[in-house]
Copies of this chain bind each other. A is one copy, B any other.
Amino acid sequence: MSKAIFYHAGCPVCVEAEQKVAQAIDSSKYQVENVHLGEDASRIAEAEKAGVKSVPAMVLDGVPFHINFGAKLSDLK
């Protein structure tokens, strides 16, 4: 199964994206993981490595997609 990682920081823009976009992902194709970078800063490096610049973002099979704009990744450090 493919992997979808939704990175967020609990911001209003993030919550809206989680409720709409992350929930719309086909769970028969993708295993969706939600990662709150504000609470789990140890995963910021992994998000950066995948090309994530801001949250909310969804990484699908390693490809980063920034969804609207909530906060810069650098502001979460």
Binding site for B on A (CB under 8 A): 2, 4, 16-17, 20-21, 24-30, 58, 60-61, 63-69
User: A16-B63, A26-B27, A27-B26 known; A21 and B68 CB under 8 Å?
Assistant: no
Contact, CB under 8 Å: A20 / B68: no
Copies per assembly: 2
Q: What are some 10 contacts across the A-B interface (CB < 8 A)?
A: A2-B24, A16-B63, A20-B61, A21-B58, A21-B60, A25-B26, A26-B28, A66-B67, A66-B68, A67-B67
Output the least CB separation between A4 and chain B (Å): 7
Report the bound CA distance from A63 to B58 in whole Å.
17
Give chain B residues whose Cβ lies under 8 Å from the Cβ of A61: 20
